[in-house]
A and B are shown apart, each in its own frame.
Chain A
């Protein structure tokens, strides 16, 4: 049987034609509006309360829509956006260093290895400017210069200083800003908050998204919630690898359930492997911790020149160290984009020059920065990151170089959306990391926060009105057959999971699936490996449904049951990721196919055959591929070079 079949191409019909600078204005002008008095008759469900979901729910509430907001955590403030450390990009050009909307647009398209949609990225760059204004007005305590004005720093893959930051906790501060705006709306009565609720199914009626089925994680009650539109802001699917920098609860269930109901899933194989994570310390490891990329501003990455050199780092003289990023990429040095830095680390470790346990690590050395800037200045800039490193490893980065290794961090793929951020199911909008639209095959540092907030504060609230203006929508009762059916799917699945009563824990399956994905669908992928992975995933999935053991019952707080349900969806996603990775026989961004590389080991794109977005349709059997061709009118496609 074929792994997939090819269907009709797909197009984004929402982005206006004309000069790229004017498209967003044109779209806003072209879209229909909803009269303020009518907004409160329209309801919207928002799933997820990260930067995208939190800001969207707050803004929709401010506009006057009736919003229901859902998160699986005990508070909307805990969504994993909170863990983003480094910063947020904005084309403010406060530094007068040549930045502009045009340059941010260009950098993002180039950084994404020419696999993103031009109009979306340009809009992102335009909106970036407003985000900073909005966040400052909310009281986000960005870093300041002595004069009281905003400070910025530079980040991987760019040569301007456009990243705004709040120490090493930018994501936290931005999320708390959105969270506070959200709680303000909860108090005002425009947003109803459902914490400890997990979306388990999408309700689609006559091809239109009309609600969700959610489980109250405290009582186990299966609830149906209907609305006029559904917004998914449920984040990425990096946890398919088990070990990642995502929070333990991050999962693909919301988007995967929507995919099964007809939403196309785009570019699932585009995974970002972050170069600066703390290496794994043992078998028991439950997650990986990122050290902000901003560390690469002052830290120098190196490994010993000689293979198997086990001397302490301090004992290795300067001329026996290989500062391989500075050597291979003289113009960007330690600040090359993430995909390049990660692969470079993997290749030196593959050569046997890795450091630390298992040889899976490279040094990130601050000795030179400490000598140049002084210990205090370094502590001021990176103090909390150094402390975090010391807490986890027991080593002081002021004394010995950090050891870092790449880890799964972000997923550029996600549900396919048009310029309005609407999926292929009318009424279903997808924002933030959960969609695929802005980062192409690789995301630049400090761009995730930018995209999440752009979507939530500025894009979705402007585009969703065009859809909602088509209302009033027919009222949907709980007894509607589609609602009843969706509910039954959920209860059946839970009953099935609870009744297997096998002999393996959910986590043991997740670990095995993760190891498989990391090995064959991680930093380097091959035709042979991916085929092997597909076979193994299918076997493992069968084993899961035959021998997983989920204790307890549904009508209680049951964390093992929550996990099992998520893992079941990860199995299906993993298969699609491998199929996507297999069909894309080129290297681009975070997707590196060993068969497609330049003589000196750099990723080799194949624009002639693969300059498209791969949007997959769920069929239950072999998925159907729909291609959206990428046309570049404003940026010329060239082979990326950071040398």
Chain B
């Protein structure tokens, strides 16, 4: 005797299709299931009924690869804070709930099919400068670069970003600022990241804009939905670095 649910799922055959919401009824859902396992149950049924199963992105199913997405009842990754969709469990829903499932919505994330979107724009932001230029073999001894524990700690908090894009999905401006700021902060706080610090931030922000993401207006929606709790402070740090870069140029 599990839960009975109504799902309203965005179905869109491909990028050219207009798409629509389609309702599905599900019965006998166990509270111990994960949200994606619940969708697996639906898809098994759809296949046997000769219908097209719902396409959704997922991979590790342990909250770290950043592949899963889904806007659940208007919130990216669903109602539980600091939790990816794949780690969201059905015990957070009630029998009889109507659950709306939509893809990430952003012009820079075109829909590929159903709930699957193209997030390669985020990779291109990294390509613009989200790295330390340290060719293999050129490194000094690891102990030669001491890092104050507090800096290592703050850098780590930023480095935990999984690149899922929930920040973009939640932002009223569809801005990729938190994603960009997380990488700028991670590398900008470490001594290894200093030589490229100001060029990096300028290039990454320019790429972010070129991809068609919106601009940040400090609404804080991004950190509220971030499954890794990337702090808002990273955005402030990016702003500071960008202005310093502007002064220096």
Contacts and interface: CB of A to CB of B under 8 A. Distances in A.
B163 A557 contact: no
Interface in B85-103: 87, 89, 91
A144 B152 contact: yes
Interface string A136-167: 11110111111111100000000000000011
B97 to A, nearest CB: 18
Nearest to B161: A176
B4 to A, nearest CB: 16
A186 B143 contact: no
A141 B156 contact: yes
A31 interface: no
B119 A74 contact: yes
Nearest to A56: B136
Contacts of A55: 136
A289 B87 CA distance: 10
B160 A172 contact: yes
A141 B186 contact: yes
B64 A169 contact: yes
Nearest to A249: B59
A286 B87 CA distance: 12
Chain B CB within 10 A, most for which of A74, A75, A94, A284: A74
Given A146-B149, A172-B64, A181 B134 contact: yes
B132 A94 contact: no
Contacts of A62: 135-136
A429 interface: no
Given A82-B64, A560-B47, A137 B145 contact: yes
A417 B89 CA distance: 42
Contacts of A77: 66, 123, 163
A75 B122 contact: yes
Interface in A535-553: 549, 551-552
Given A137-B140, A137-B145, A507 B40 contact: yes
Contacts of A181: 131, 134, 136
A276 interface: no
A284 B33 contact: yes
B139 A187 contact: no
Interface string B126-141: 1110111111111111
A505 interface: yes
B131 A184 contact: yes
Contact of B91 (A134, A144, A387, A394): A394
A78 B53 contact: no
B136 A286 contact: no
B213 to A, nearest CB: 16
A83 interface: yes
Interface string A115-152: 00000000000000010111111110111111111100
A138 B132 CA distance: 5
A149 B152 CA distance: 10
Interface string B34-60: 101100110110111011110101111
Given A139-B187, A148-B149, A507-B44, A83 B136 contact: no
23 contacts: A62-B135, A74-B57, A75-B163, A77-B66, A78-B65, A136-B192, A137-B132, A138-B132, A139-B132, A141-B155, A141-B190, A167-B156, A172-B162, A247-B65, A286-B36, A287-B62, A289-B62, A388-B62, A388-B63, A391-B63, A391-B89, A503-B48, A507-B44
Interface of A: 55, 58-59, 62, 73-80, 82-83, 92, 94, 130, 132-139, 141-150, 166-167, 169, 172-173, 176, 179-181, 183-184, 186-187, 193, 195, 218, 245, 247-249, 281-282, 284-287, 289-290, 387-388, 391-392, 394, 457-458, 461, 503, 505, 507-508, 549, 551-552, 556-557, 559-560
Interface of B: 13-14, 30, 32-34, 36-37, 40-41, 43-44, 46-48, 50-53, 55, 57-67, 80, 82-83, 87, 89, 91, 112-113, 116, 118-120, 122-123, 126-128, 130-143, 145-149, 152, 155-156, 159-160, 162-163, 186-187, 190, 192-193
Given A148-B148, A218-B112, A507-B44, 10 more contacts: A82-B64, A130-B137, A134-B136, A137-B145, A284-B30, A388-B87, A457-B136, A556-B13, A559-B55, A560-B53
